Each structure stands twice: as C-alpha cells, then as structure tokens.
C-alpha cells in the first residue's frame, strides 16, 4: 500500500504519468467497439423482461418435497411458456411464468396443485398485468431524462458546457454498455434492474466530476503561460486523480461483486442478480469512461477553441526555439524541457537543469592586498 501511495503522490506532482489524452484515439476506438457489440447484442437477443413488464403470474407453493426442476417442467408443460423457479428458505417454491392470460394462470395453478398433491387454494397465485410494468418503465424513463437535464445544467454552470457535453456522452456510453451486457447475459429485467441503472449514473458521474474539478483548477489562467497546452494540463490533472479513481472504484466493486458472484451465483439467490449485475457493469464502465472518455473529450472540445489554438502555437514555437538554441550549444533537450527552460529564462531564473555555482558580483572597494571586507587602514 505504501508503494501505491508513493505512486499516487508522484502522479499528483507530475513526476510520472501516462499520456491518456495523447492516445485518446485508441480509447475512442475501444469504446466504439464495445458499444457496437452491446448494441448488436441488444438487437440480437433483446432484453428478457420480467412479468412486471410483460405481464404474467407468480405462484407460491406451500412447503413441499417436490424439486424445483420438477415444478418448472410442470409449469412449462401446462402454460406453454418458460418458467423461472426459485426455492425459498422454508422449502417453498416461487414459480414465475410470463405472458399468461387469466385462463392459463388457472390451468397452471391446477397443474401445480396436482403435482404437489395439495388443495388448489394452497397454491397462491398473483397475476400481474403488463400495464403496471409500463408505468414503471415510463417513470424510469422520466427519471432518467430529468437526471440527464439536471446534470447538464449543473455541469454547465459549475464548469462549462464542454465538460457538461463530455459527461453526458460518458453517461450514455455507460448505460449502453450496461444494457447490452444485460441482453447478452440474459438476466431478467425487473424493477431492481431499473434501480441499478439509475444508481450507476451517480457513481459514473462521481469520478468524472472529481477529474473535472482538478482540471478546472489546473487550467485557471492557462492563456497567461506558454509552457503547456490544454491537452497536456488535462492529462496532468487526470494522472493526479488516477489512483484516487482506481481506489474508489475497487472499494465500490468489492461488495457488488460479492452480491453478484457469491449471493447470486454460488448461493443461488437469483433476485440479487437483477441489481448487482447492473451495478457491477455500470461501475466498471463508469470508471473506464471517466478516465479514457470524458477528459479526452473535453481536451478535444477545448483544443478547437481559438484561444487554445493560439496557446498551442505559442507553446510549440517556444519549444522549437529553445530546442534550436540548445542544439546550437550542443546540448540535446526534449521539447518539454526546452519549453520549461524558455519559461524560466523569461521569468529571470536560470534554465531548468543548469547546475553550477552562481557568478558573484565583483567586490567593490577591495584593496590591492585582496582583502574582502573591513575598513581601510
């Protein structure tokens, strides 16, 4: 952990770093491929909507020795639709069948009662109409639209419209990937899924806002210097918050992974899968987009600004002049160091990297005997 903290401190000070912004075309390409794969998966397999959205019936049996697999076959044979069976803690069964009419629900209820050898009234039946699911979906879409609008307005006021646009693109990117993975995996879409999708928006936005806040502070009065371009300052800000973003994401992913892989997979608590898969994929996608998408997009948008274009020209011109001067003196330098030296010389300081004893002014009033101080005698 001490090594990780040391790396984080060096990243924050700009002593080491990775050129995320400079290699943004690679990240854009990767994101486009992932997004296309998610959209294709969504188009090929589509989402597996639960009864809350498609309508159907839920049958709850009394305590029974009948296995979940036997109950599933009975429900599917009598209804003609796929069934989902969950064994509850008190040896009762919860059987869910989508797209059932009331007549089919009664037929399935009778078949289950016969299989379990219990009275018909002991098999509890809850019929869910698709209109209830439509209401949930409409409210979810309304909440999503309001959230997006508020986010854009807030970021445009707190930062600027370019950052608001980049954050919005990153959010759409995260949602698309999460929904695509849901379609490919085939998990059932329930109200828990909707809750998970709305929850990841906040997590996805958190890291992005942290990076943007550091970038806003670093880019203050940027046009008054000619040492770094906007893209370089954006990259330094991103590296400065990199370890923090990784730590935050890992800490958030650990409990969600426990719910998904241990609770939903190993223990078989299928209801946990609805929200945990959306959270897990959304958190991972949000961390990726905040590092590889949002900040590089802001740099792309800002570099199109006339002031930033003029700044980039000044920076490159100064580095070229410093490199030419260093080449004349027979001392090879890289462009960044050359630009730093040029800035130091403008400020009246010795060039960076120049080591040696400062020249002292000639002592006045020294006598012929070489005395350095004292009164004349």
Pinpoint the residues of the chain covered by CATH 1.20.1640.10.
2-49+132-307
Which residues in the chain belong to E strands, given as ranges? Answer: 48-49, 56-60, 83-87, 93-98, 124-128, 188-189
Q: What is the mean pLDDT of residues 138-157?
A: 84
d(CA 239, CA 96): 49
Q: Which residues neighbour 283 within 8 Å (Cβ) at sequence distance 6 or greater?
A: 200, 203, 204, 249, 252, 253, 256
Q: Per-residue pLDDT for 350 more than 50?
A: no
List the structure tokens of 271: 């209801």
More reliable by pLDDT, 97 or 90 = 97
Fold category of 56-128 in CATH: Alpha-Beta Plaits (3.30.70)
Phi, psi of 96 (to 5 degrees): -120, 125
Global model pTM greater than 0.85: no
Question: Which is more confidently placed, 60 or 260?
Answer: 60
Query: Which regions of the chain carry the CATH code 3.30.70.3400?
Result: 56-128
Both tokens assigned to 9 = 């401190």
For the domain bounded by 2-49+132-307, which CATH number is listed? 1.20.1640.10
* pLDDT value of residue 11: 58
Q: How far apart are CA 294 and CA 227, in angstroms?
A: 24
């Amino acid at each position: 952990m001490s090594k990780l903290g040391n790396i984080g401190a060096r990243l924050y000070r700009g002593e080491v770093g990775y050129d995320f912004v400079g290699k943004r075309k690679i990240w854009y390409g990767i994101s486009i491929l992932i997004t296309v794969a998610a959209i294709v998966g969504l188009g090929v397999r589509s989402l597996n909507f639960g009864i809350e959205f498609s309508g159907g019936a839920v049958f709850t049996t009394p305590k029974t020795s009948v296995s979940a697999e036997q109950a599933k076959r009975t429900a599917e044979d009598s209804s003609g639709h796929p069934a989902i069976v969950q064994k509850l803690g008190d040896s009762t069964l919860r059987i869910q069948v989508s797209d059932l009419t009331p007549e089919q629900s009664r037929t399935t209820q009778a078949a289950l009662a016969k299989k379990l050898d219990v009275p018909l009234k002991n098999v509890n039946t809850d019929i869910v109409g698709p209109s209830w699911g439509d209401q949930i979906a409409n409210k979810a879409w309304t909440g999503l639209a309001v959230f997006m609008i508020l986010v854009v307005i807030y970021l445009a006021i707190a930062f600027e419209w370019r950052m608001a646009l980049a954050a919005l693109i990153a959010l759409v990117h995260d949602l698309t990937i999460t929904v695509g993975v849901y379609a490919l995996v085939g998990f059932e879409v329930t109200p828990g899924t909707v809750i998970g999708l709305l929850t990841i928006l906040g997590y996805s936005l958190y890291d992005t806002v942290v990076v943007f806040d550091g970038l806003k502070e670093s880019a203050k009065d940027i046009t008054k210097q000619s040492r770094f371009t906007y893209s370089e300052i954006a990259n330094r800000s991103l590296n400065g918050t990199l370890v923090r973003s990784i730590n935050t994401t890992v800490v958030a992913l650990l409990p969600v992974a426990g719910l998904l892989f241990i609770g939903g997979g190993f223990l078989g608590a299928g209801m946990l899968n609805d929200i945990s898969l959306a959270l897990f994929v959304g958190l991972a996608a949000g961390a990726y987009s905040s590092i590889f998408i949002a900040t590089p997009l802001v740099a792309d948008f800002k570099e199109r600004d006339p002031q930033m274009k003029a700044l980039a020209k000044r920076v490159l011109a100064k580095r070229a002049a410093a490199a030419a001067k260093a080449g004349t003196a027979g001392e090879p330098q890289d462009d960044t160091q050359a630009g730093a030296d040029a800035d130091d010389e403008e400020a009246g300081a010795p060039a960076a990297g120049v080591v040696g004893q400062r020249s002292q002014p000639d002592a006045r009033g020294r006598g012929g005997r070489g005395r350095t101080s004292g009164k004349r005698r």
